[in-house]
Structure 1
Amino acid sequence: MKKIFYFFVVFAVALVSCSKDDSDLASDSFENLVVNTKTPIFNSSTYSYSAGGNLSVALQNDNFDYEFGVCYSESPNPNVINSNTVSGYLNNTNFDCLINDIDLGVTYYIKAYVRKLQTNEIKYGNEITFIQPLNLTTNIVKNISLTGFSVTVNVGSDLSNNSERGVCYSTSPNPTVSNERLDDPTNGSGNFTITVDGVQTFSPSYYVDRNTTYYLRSFVYLNGRYYYGNEVSFKTCGYVGGSGGYVFYDKGETTNGWRYLEASTTKLNDPNSTNFKWSNTSTFMSGISQEIGAGLDNSTLIRNSNNFTNIAATMCIFVSNNSVNDWFLPSIKELKELYKLKIAGLVFNPASGPNSYYNKNVLSSSQRDNTTCYGVNFENGSEVIMTKTDQLYSGWQVRRF
């Protein structure tokens, strides 16, 4: 009988001892747990990341007593309180999570974590940074006027499954498609160019206002969300330039020694009358162009053959304006951009005096054929064909810098 009692006591002590050891083991497992954060892996077909962690030891009742996941943020040291979190399911000492709401081209900081549900204690893993390059490039804005601009965007091949692409812009940084947007009619990868211009008016309203700074980003719509390219900024024309005139065109970059076109605030007057000729003879001149940037070369060619005070191009070069001597007669495309200053109320119709019907037509330095040249009617902005040798027209000085 004594032997039986002794055996029962020994068994009871052993049972209590084992229960205590198991409890301590579970406690010690979490207290001494080391969590390792796995490097996220990008899935280009779903535009998501596989992330997660590894545990140094297995935990008892793992998926019932603990929460396993990752926390991530655009700022260092993420945690479960102030960062994004995604939970996963443990398999032995490994757990995986799927992150869907990431922005391409953004650096993120991530930590794996284990939370003990009963006490809310949290063990964090090491911090890792990750970024998936966004192959969406917004190039510099070019051909900036008072009413429009152009911009070219490159879409990488990994974004080729987009269903929308375009640009968005605002007077505040970080524009989104909720601001003004301009869509490209196509989709896919490669380059596309957005070009807008209000021409003679400032409508439609989604273009631009003069003398205003805008911020612009490209975008694509892919897998149910918008991705944005790098931001660029530009300032529309209509402000005062370095020589007291108005800047009316901006290439967006300096090439061939110049970037901006500036117009005098008033038309140029012939010292002997109020009108000019294009030339003294009905001769076609080689090398004359209609393009933006050609006005100076056009004017130089005309002056070399017609060095007279009644020739518009010659006098534009000869006459100093605001102590500046690099003026010329604009090409027809330059003159059409200049006309927008009149629509904006910054310069006025040159028609005046007895020949107002004629000198409302402003000469360009571009020619049509042997006998005629191009100009712009400053009453309505229309392109007009004028006789080269008629002294009935106005001239307007512009310069580039």
Structure 2
Amino acid sequence: MKKTIINNVKILFTTLISILLLYSCTEEFDYGKSENAVKTLEFSDVLQTTAMVSGKVITDNGASLSSRGICYSINNNPTISGTKTPDTQSTLGSFTCALINLAPSTTYFARAYATNGYGTAYGNEISFTTQAATIPIISSTTAVGFITQTTAVAGGTITNSGASNVTSRGVCFSKTNTIPTITDTKTNDGTGIGQYSSSLTNLTPNTLYYIRAYATNGVGTAYGDVKSFTTTSATIPVVSITTTATFITQTTAISGGNVTSESGATVTSRGVCWSNTTTSPTILNSKTVDGTGLGTFTSSLTGLSANTTYYVRAYATNSVGTAYGPAISVRTLSATIPTGVTTNTISSITQTTATSGGNISNDGGASVTSRGVCWSNITSSPTITNSKTVDGSGIGSFTSSLSGLTANTTYYVRAYATNSAGTSYGSVISFTTLSATIPTGISTTSISSISQNTASSGGTITGDGGASITSHGVCWSSSTSSPTIFNSTTDNGSGIGSFTSSLTGLTANTTYYVRAYSTNSVGTAYGNTISFITLPNLSVGQSYQGGIIAYIFVSGDSGYIAGQTHGLIATTSNQSAGAQWGCSGTSITGTSTTLGTGLANTSAIIGSCSTTTIAAALCNNLSSGGYTDWYLPSYTDLTKLYLNQTTIGGFSAVSYWSSSQASSTTAYSINFSTGTGNSSSSKSALMYVRAIRKF
């Protein structure tokens, strides 16, 4: 029985072994499902973007490992299909892997893993959190070098980005802020960590600056140490060349230069200067101004003299001073007679005048001292030895007025221009003046100074019609409204212009017709007709010119003119019924008693006496009948008024003052009741006043 049990056990064992052997031949072993084959140990040295994680492979279950390492993720249960860091070896035992490119302030899950031909086994899961990002770390600000007036070179070194990309780096600098920041002036010299160089520009010469490196990431800006430096002092600019002269003529040339450095101060003016007397011209000589700043420029030299050697230098000026380029020499071409002379078409042709002119495009290198047109009716090639105009100097266009021509005549005209080299001419143009006509532009002057027997007129003549005016004047008639030279005339000379004519032998109170005339070889032309009426014959007692005629001058009287009527006019009423003569105690020098001296007497009295109520002042200040030239009559003037007082009218039978002084305290008066003259009337007495004027 016992033997049977043993045999049965043997058979069962043999069957199990057979089953195991059969299974091993038909299905591989799954290493990945092995428990405790791999163990995740610990993490260490966790920073913003890196960490160290260790693991251990305990068994490979009889199959060699192909890989081991750490896989990790921000999610649980990371696998090798995600992010992983393989170890350098593939053996059993402990190992440590460095995890990189992590995100700051982030929780990561990690597991050790091992892989062989049967699969991948994972260790237990651990977690850790990376440190927060910081501003970058700058080890130093590079010492400043290559210092000029306006530039310098610096830089910095960034050793760590602070776990956030450096998006901007450079140096910031200031001449007022001893600890500059990026709110001051700064450079921008790329991104990332490492060493970099910065170029500082637009600095102020001879100035202390403070500088430090900076680096900016997503967290903020970090700065390096502060350094300082002083820019060099500004100097005059650098002018490297004076451009060789080209396009040389008698009076112009082209040059220029190149300003290669402003030397710390802005170039405010640049150009070329030149002289024909010194080999080292300056800006105190002739110069151009061709902009500002650096670079090449072109200059146009003008106003040069022909056949002359000039010395030229480029220049540039800044606040420090003026620098010059090397001097070059240029010789202008020799002068020639003017060129490009053209003659204008003839216009405004009359019997005696015409208009032409010309244009001069080049003076030949010597100033045009005279220009105009010359003409002749004899030669078809007139020169300046013939008739000519002189219409200024220089080049350009001009207008010429030809005068003194003969009517119905052919003339040849050409422009000319003269300089020191000679005279050149334009093309010849011919024209024929108009045929002569009777004079033109005749007007008759308004009639004036009309009396009973005379009057004044005249006329103006603007054109002689191309033939000399041999006679001009006025003609008049009382019987026809279109008088001619066959009626009464004056002859007031010849030629055009204005003239005055005196009409005489007229009849009083008669209508006359007058017009100016002008006669040349073609005939006689007339102006417009003007009519007037001579004055009627005048008599004492007649109302006339603001008053009443008191006396008419006769031959021998002062103021008498033969053939004309003149005399004295009295006001229509008295100017006062009781006025003093005035100036008692004062002797008035120069008064007279004779006819016609009343005006002079009145002026003398007013000059010595300022009282406005005295007899002379009342007459002198009078405005009556439209006239203001009234005065106190002399003793003889007053006598004429007394003799004609009834005809004149308006007088009283009382004494009237004259303007004739008897002594320093007395003056002459006449009693119009008795006709008695009194030379001893006191100047303080009150008497009547009657003013007169002359006509």
> What TM-score results when the alignment is normalised by the length of structure 2?
0.21
* Highest RCO, 1 vs 2 (Cα 8 Å, sep ≥ 6): 1
More strand by share: 2
> What TM-score results when the alignment is normalised by the length of structure 1?
0.36
